[in-house]
Amino acid sequence: MEYLFTYGTLQDPQVQEYIFGRFLKGMPDALLGFKKMENAIYGRYPLVLQTNNYQDKVNGQVYKVTEGDLKKADIYETSAYKRKKFPLESGGTAWVYVENSK
């Protein structure tokens, strides 16, 4: 099992149903050392930026997902994002979609 931290549209039940074919049960958590920018991708979608200042944090949800779920989420997120693992406030680690600055 993998963990996916979300801070935007992947928290929407309709989006989850569309991508994964089911609703995901999440737990609140936070990504430390990041700030969230609204409407940063295509003027519409949020993005988290790493600040390395652990006073900064982004609240969101963390979900247990499968490798197959992650591949589906990769397609949904497009090449505008890339998936990387980061530590969470809870002490766990999770995949997070960040800017794909090639």
Report the pLDDT value the prediction gives residue 102, as an integer from 0 to 100. 60
pLDDT tens digits, residue range 12-32?
A: 999 999 999 999 999 999 999
Report the pLDDT value the prediction gives residue 24, as an integer from 0 to 100. 96
Q: How confident is the model at residue 60 (pLDDT cuts 50, 70, 90)?
A: very high
Residue 5 CB coordination number (10 Å): 26
Model confidence, pTM:
0.94
d(CA 31, CA 72): 22
Residue 33 CB coordination number (10 Å): 17
Domains parsed from the chain with CATH numbers: 2-99 (3.10.490.10)
In the Cβ-directed half-sphere of 34, how many Cα atoms lie within 13 Å?
23
Q: What φ, ψ does residue 24 adopt, rounded to 5°?
A: -95, 140
